[in-house]
């Protein structure tokens, strides 16, 4: 019997068949799905009928559905539940997918059909969504080399194949370096200042690895509390340097990978007729070009730097008065900021955490979505998952009709990369009269429950959950015809609007009272704490803004020019950070070598979009506040013009339809207390 006959990924499936999956299933299933997609493409090319929107453009967008389902399962596991075997398969699979992508985008016969439709677009009676899809497809071919001569096409194929492997290698190194570091503490005095919950978690982590004492790692739920609360400055320094030197001059060094990636991206852009990788990327963004990104970042730098410098002086003075610290270092920042925050606002994460039990916060984000968009969430235990910690929910609309399947995975594990993200296992689309609903997932790394306490979230973790859930709503409420324009398939500097706007509800009394209840007493969060959360929301905002801007500038420095002359990764980084650095430089550390967002994720030439989206979200939330944060009409407009529309039209048009005007940065600067 053919092994594909027993492979759960070889036939169409609705819910991902996680429990039946073995590592050996992935490669043959992906190879088979690649073959299927090639056959579907071949059918389009050999169609004897005159090329039309339906038989060419729409057919191309629907092609490869099985491949997209199988690869979404595989690559999500490679992020959330990976192991060495999966990583090896990823190294095999990525070049195959890069090759397929090139086979399609460099296929002359297919491009001719698309160009025929594109050339007569003004005579066709297309909907705005169809027009967008046609233009997106045509541009995608041109931007991926369809007009290149044969030798240049071959060169492009080689570059893409190498880039796909380098990105994976970069990410594997970051994960390995993160897992490789452990700080085992055997003297309890070294934990002074650390909250009981963090101590208990460190103890549990040590015992899970058969070690005596307390274990601190570079995973955020372990790393951040230590940097924020531990009185032992030497250990904070040790941990900070370990975190900042991941993949720099160690066994997992990424310096060569960084230089190879930026040079290949530059060569690729040049081959396609663009001045730089950033020029290539930004053509398909709201920002349009590197000059407007640099102007945007520089404008925010000018407005936020005076506030940041003032805050830094304040922090330096505070540390001097408290502990005679003559020079504030990077490993002092979170520690003294937390102490100063407590002094100013008497607001401590440890006071807040009892009000943010994970289960209650999940319920809270569901209630907010229910009030805004009339959605219902029902937990179900019959859905297959890849780990026992993954929760699954059915999402229904107000009439009880099925909207989406929702997966949530909240706690750190050895095979899970750091951070938080939203992803999908199945994209929403309409085909043959059926509106096929999406399967959406969020993955986070939140504080785990301990033997005596449930999972109690820091306020930062609460906003992270709301953020990722905002992305999830973009997927859940998607209502487009074509999969290529559905859900989060939007311009990269627009994709953060739904996520960042939802964070605003975490600061509002009306929303907090729905879910912020003490895990032991059931008492609703007191009004005085809500006031303190609100007042402290702009605390050290100048420094936080400067930090975000520094990442945006670094991204552009790697991608907006010719990188061929760059030989030293650290030197390049230092040059960029001169304009934003407040702390002394630490020679042993380097950010670029673990900057996964731009070297493995999709944020190359796009890191600025976090700040760009903050401008959109501050302006959009202003509109909600004018009418009431749960105002049905405003929420309906947001759903109808932003969340359900995906990438069907130009994002600025969609935004203006919702808001009635273009966004202005003033709302962000006002909210941040910078003006």
3-state secondary structure of 178: helix
Distance CA 228, CA 134 (A): 51
Residue 162 catalytic? no
Q: How many CB atoms lie within 10 A of CB 626?
A: 9
Tokens for 465? 């959950």
Catalytic residue among 468, 508, 541, 573: 468
Tokens for 453? 């306490």
Instruction: Tell me if 386 sits within 8 A of 552, measured CB to CB.
Output: no
Tokens for 49? 């009928």
275 class by beta-carbon count within 10 Å (0-12 exposed, 13-18 middle, 19+ buried): middle
Distance CA 444, CA 221 (A): 10
Q: Mind spelling out the 3-state secondary structure of 135-147?
A: HHHHHHHHHCCCC
Tokens for 104? 């399609």
Q: Which of 588, 66, 540 is nearest to 334 (CA)?
A: 540
Distance CA 531, CA 537 (A): 10
Distance of CA 93 to the CA centre of its chain: 22
Q: Which of 130, 235, 112 is nearest to 185 (CA)?
A: 235
Q: How far is CA 34 from CA 12, 20, 31, 302, 423, in A?
A: 14, 22, 5, 50, 21
Under 8 Å CB-to-CB from 259, ≥6 apart: which residues? Answer: 563, 566, 567, 569
| Residue position matching structure tokens 């030798």 | 151
Distance CA 414, CA 410 (A): 13
Number of H helices, E strands in the chain: 27, 9
C-beta pairs of 361-366 under 8 Å, 24+ apart in sequence: 361/457, 361/462, 361/465, 361/515, 362/391, 362/408, 362/465, 363/515, 364/511, 364/512, 364/514, 364/515, 364/516, 365/465, 365/466, 365/469, 365/502, 365/515
Q: Is the dihedral of CA 509, 512, 517, 518 positive or negative?
A: negative
64 class by beta-carbon count within 10 Å (0-12 exposed, 13-18 middle, 19+ buried): buried
Q: Which of 226, 214, 429 is nearest to 331 (CA)?
A: 226
Dihedral pair phi/psi, residue 32, rounded to 5°: -65, -45
Q: How many CB atoms lie within 10 A of CB 235?
A: 18
Distance CA 203, CA 185 (A): 9
Q: Which of 580, 544, 582 is nearest to 327 (CA)?
A: 582
3-state secondary structure of 194: coil
Instruction: Tell me if 404 sits within 8 A of 476, measured CB to CB.
Output: yes
Tokens for 405? 């399947």
Tokens for 519? 């895990």
Q: Where do runs of H (alpha helix) occur along 489-594? A: 497-503, 509-515, 527-536, 541-559, 569-577
- Residues noted as catalytic: 468
């Amino acid at each position: 019997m053919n092994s594909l006959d027993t492979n759960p990924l070889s036939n169409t499936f609705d819910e991902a068949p996680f429990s039946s999956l073995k590592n050996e299933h992935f490669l043959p299933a992906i190879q088979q799905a690649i073959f299927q997609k090639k056959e579907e493409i071949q059918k389009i090319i050999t169609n004897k009928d005159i090329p039309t929107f339906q038989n060419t453009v729409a057919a191309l967008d629907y092609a490869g559905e099985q491949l997209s389902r199988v690869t979404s399962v595989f690559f999500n596991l490679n992020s959330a539940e990976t192991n060495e075997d999966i990583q090896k398969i990823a190294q095999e699979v990525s070049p195959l997918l890069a090759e397929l992508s090139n086979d399609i985008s460099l296929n002359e016969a297919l491009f001719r059909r698309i160009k025929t439709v594109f050339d007569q677009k003004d005579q066709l009676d297309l909907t705005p969504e169809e027009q967008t899809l046609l233009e997106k497809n045509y541009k995608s071919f041109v931007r991926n080399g369809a007009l290149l001569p044969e030798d240049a096409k071959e060169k492009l194929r080689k570059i893409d194949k190498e880039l796909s492997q380098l990105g994976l290698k970069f990410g594997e190194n970051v994960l390995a370096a993160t897992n490789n570091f452990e700080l085992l503490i055997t003297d309890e005095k070294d934990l002074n200042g650390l909250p009981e919950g963090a101590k208990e978690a460190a103890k549990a982590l040590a015992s899970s690895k058969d070690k005596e004492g307390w274990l601190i790692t570079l995973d955020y739920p372990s790393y951040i509390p230590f940097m924020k609360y531990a009185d032992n400055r030497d250990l904070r320094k040790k941990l900070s340097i370990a975190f900042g030197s991941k993949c720099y001059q160690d066994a997992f060094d990424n310096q060569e990978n960084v230089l190879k990636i930026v040079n290949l991206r530059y060569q690729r852009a040049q081959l396609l007729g663009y001045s730089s990788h950033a020029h290539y990327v930004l053509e398909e963004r709201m920002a349009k070009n590197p000059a407007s990104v640099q102007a945007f970042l520089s404008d925010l730098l000018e407005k936020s730097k005076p506030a940041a410098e003032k805050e830094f002086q304040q922090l330096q003075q505070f540390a001097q008065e408290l502990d005679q610290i003559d020079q504030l270092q990077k490993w002092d920042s979170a520690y003294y900021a937390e102490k100063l925050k407590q002094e100013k606002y008497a607001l401590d994460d440890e006071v807040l955490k009892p009000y943010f039990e994970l289960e209650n916060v999940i319920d809270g984000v569901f209630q907010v979505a229910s009030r805004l968009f009339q959605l219902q969430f029902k937990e179900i235990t019959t859905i297959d998952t890849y780990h026992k910690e993954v929760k699954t929910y059915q999402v229904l609309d107000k009439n009880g009709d099925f909207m989406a399947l929702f997966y949530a995975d909240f706690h750190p594990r050895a095979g899970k990369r750091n951070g938080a993200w939203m992803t999908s296992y199945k994209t929403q689309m309409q085909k043959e009269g059926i509106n096929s609903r999406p399967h959406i997932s969020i993955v986070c790394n939140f504080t785990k429950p301990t033997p005596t306490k449930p999972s109690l979230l820091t306020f930062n973790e609460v906003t992270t959950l709301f953020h990722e859930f905002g992305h999830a709503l973009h997927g859940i409420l998607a209502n487009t015809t074509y999969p290529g324009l559905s859900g989060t398939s939007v311009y990269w500097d627009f994709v953060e609007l739904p996520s960042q706007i939802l964070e605003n509800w975490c600061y509002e009394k009306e929303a907090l009272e729905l879910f912020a209840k003490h895990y032991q007493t059931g008492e609703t969060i007191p009004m005085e704490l809500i006031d303190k959360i609100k007042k402290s929301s702009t605390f050290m905002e100048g420094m936080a803004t400067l930090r975000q801007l520094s990442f945006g500038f670094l991204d552009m420095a790697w991608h907006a020019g010719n990188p061929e002359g760059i030989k030293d990764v650290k030197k390049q980084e230092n040059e960029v950070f001169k304009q934003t650095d407040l702390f002394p430089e630490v020679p042993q550390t380097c950010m670029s070598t673990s900057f996964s967002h731009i070297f493995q994720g999709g944020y190359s030439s796009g890191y600025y979009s976090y700040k760009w989206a903050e401008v959109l979200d501050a302006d959009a939330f202003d509109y909600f506040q004018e009418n009431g944060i749960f105002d049905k009409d405003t929420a309906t407009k947001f759903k109808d013009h932003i969340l359900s529309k995906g990438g069907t039209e130009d994002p600025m048009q969609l935004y203006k339809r919702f808001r009635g005007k273009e966004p202005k940065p003033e709302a962000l600067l006002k909210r941040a207390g910078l003006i």
